Structure 1
Amino acid sequence: MKVVQIWLKTVFSCVVAVGVPLSCNADTLSHIKDTQTITIAHRESSLPFSYLANGKPVGYSLDICNRLVDSIKKELKLPQLKVNYLLVTSSNRIEAIRDGKADLECGSTTNNAERRKEVSFTIPHFFASTRMLVRADAGIKNWTDLKDKKVVTTKGTTTVKLLHDRDKVRGLNLRLLEGSDHQESFNMVEKFQADAFSMDDVLLFGLRANSKTPDKFIVVGDALSTEPYAIMLRKDDPAFKEFLDREMARMMTEGEITKLYDKWFKKPVAPNNANLNMPMSFLLRDNLRFPSDKVAD
């Protein structure tokens, strides 16, 4: 049975008007059809996933979401579907989806058990490892070198807990700092306000590649964890998730995701034509062959 037939037969407890956020358990596809609008949440500086270039939201995650929007247009027979964009941060992105301010969050968000209590996720489109960025002349190679040092991470990210746990286990006496977004966290290392910036490795490579002096920074340290990135959507809307997962699986098996990966990770990208030169991880390669939304928490 087609997804559109499933959601048309489902009864929901809230009434949604045009222009009103979807704030309770509801049918997202019906809401999109009724309002003829879809809202995509995006980030400002999560390069190369979701960031602003010349004032426009772009990135690997945005490209994937735009293809999902094309599939929604086709499914709902709405070729003129309006797409709105909502800028979010790591601190308010979950709230934006949970409260119905956006239909999809297309950034660099990790799918984990804690977040699944509030929202849902599609099949992951990337797997990152948590490492750290330091100044090349700092003499820091691994986590034990951080004893009594200042370490920054971005507020609202999963890395905050990882650092607290590592500090307890190793007794490093870390002085933990938080930046409001990834760019601010990077700037704190650049300005000698922090000794290291711990975050998902791909974000660190992106910030480094687009800095004015990339050779002054290196990404080091054993991986603290593996982070599966996925598109975020509202919880308790199985028909919408089924539709999105089906489209994600199709893009993976037909090679669309591979082409987008090559575009954003193996070629120069705006705004500075930086090239991450980042090979695809074995985890992502396997997930492209056998698409699944199951992740290890």
Structure 2
Amino acid sequence: MRRASYTSATRLLRAVQSGGTPVLQRIEQTGVLRIAHRGSSVPFSFVADGKPYGYAIDLCLRVADALRGALPGLRVEFLPVTPARYTATNELLTIEPYAIMLSKQDAEFKRLVDKTLVASIYSLDTQKLYKKWFQSPIPPQGVNLDIPMSHLLRDSFKFPSDKVAD
């Protein structure tokens, strides 16, 4: 995983130095990566003691670590998602896809996120995070959801993709 993060960070550094992409330029200019989170979606993201935690937060922090390879002073800011910041659809889904949302306008940043998450899947880090947030006591109350990984999620890790299947 270190090699994949180093390679991603090296490419990111080149992208930033060459003018970068809109998201990467903004991150370099401000020195800040903003991560949106929901306040009460245990175990995906929730706030305890004034700080966001959860499975999605841990995955996003992996992306921040990859970015720090090119931008050592990078800070992470957490933004709470409020009804004014998102739109819900009326579309019903039989299987709820869960994803990290990011701008479609920045292919280089998306590549970095994809490579970081794929490296996390192949190193089994993602599976360890799943066990931490879905099969172990969750702070601060110590609730254990005891939800085994579904065969659909487990199988999706065999061939990581940014496509959602029906």
Q: Please tell me whether Structure 1 or Structure 2 has the larger radius of gyration of its CA atoms.
A: 1
Report Cα offsets for 1:19-77 as digits up to 9, x if no partner: xxxxxxx5211211121111111111011111111111111100111111011111x2x
TM-align CA RMSD:
2.1
| Structure-1 residue corresponding to 2:6 | none
**Counterpart among 152, 160, 163 of residue 291 in structure 1:** 160
1:279, CA displacement in angstroms? 0.6
| Structure-2 residue corresponding to 1:39 | 34
Alpha-carbon distance in structure 2 between the residues aligned to 1:81 and 1:7: 13
Q: Equivalent residues in 2 for 1:77-116 (5 A)?
A: 78-89=71-82, 91-94=83-86
| Structure-2 residue corresponding to 1:5 | 14
| Structure-2 residue corresponding to 1:230 | 99
Alpha-carbon distance in structure 1 between the residues aligned to 2:40 and 2:143: 14
Structure 2 residue runs without a partner (length 5+): 1-9
Report Cα offsets for 1:112-140 as digits up to 9, x if no partner: xxxxxxxxxxxxxxxxxxxxxxxxxxxxx
Tell me the SS of whatever aligns to 2:133. Answer: helix
Q: Match of 2:22, as an amino acid?
A: D
| Structure-1 residue corresponding to 2:143 | 274
1:4, CA displacement in angstroms? 4.1
| Structure-1 residue corresponding to 2:5 | none
| Structure-1 residue corresponding to 2:44 | 49
1:293, CA displacement in angstroms? 0.8
Report Cα offsets for 1:143-190 as digits up to 9, x if no partner: xxxxxxxxxxxxx434x433xxxxxxxxxxxxxxxxxxxxxxxxxxxx
Note if contact 2:38-2:46 (Cα within 8 Å) is conserved in structure 1.
yes
Q: Match of 1:30, as an amino acid?
A: Q
Alpha-carbon distance in structure 2 between the residues aligned to 1:41 and 1:235: 16
| Structure-2 residue corresponding to 1:157 | 88
1:6 and 1:55, CA in 2 relative to 1: closer, same or farther beyond 3 A? closer
Note if contact 2:63-2:112 (Cα within 8 Å) is conserved in structure 1.
no
Q: Match of 1:49, as an amino acid?
A: F
Structure 1 residue runs without a partner (length 5+): 12-25, 95-155, 163-223
Normalising by structure 1, we get a TM-score of: 0.49
| Structure-2 residue corresponding to 1:127 | none
1:7, CA displacement in angstroms? 5.7
Q: Match of 1:85, as an amino acid?
A: F
Q: Equivalent residues in 2 for 1:50-69 (5 A)?
A: 50-69=45-64
Note if contact 1:7-1:239 (Cα within 8 Å) is conserved in structure 2.
no
More helix by share: 2
Tell me the SS of whatever aligns to 1:40. Answer: strand
Report Cα offsets for 1:166-217 as digits up to 9, x if no partner: xxxxxxxxxxxxxxxxxxxxxxxxxxxxxxxxxxxxxxxxxxxxxxxxxxxx
Report Cα offsets for 1:48-107 as digits up to 9, x if no partner: 111111111111100111111011111x2x333111111113x3444xxxxxxxxxxxxx
Alpha-carbon distance in structure 2 between the residues aligned to 1:93 and 1:296: 26
Normalising by structure 2, we get a TM-score of: 0.85
1:259 and 1:240, CA in 2 relative to 1: closer, same or farther beyond 3 A? same
Q: Match of 1:42, as an amino acid?
A: H
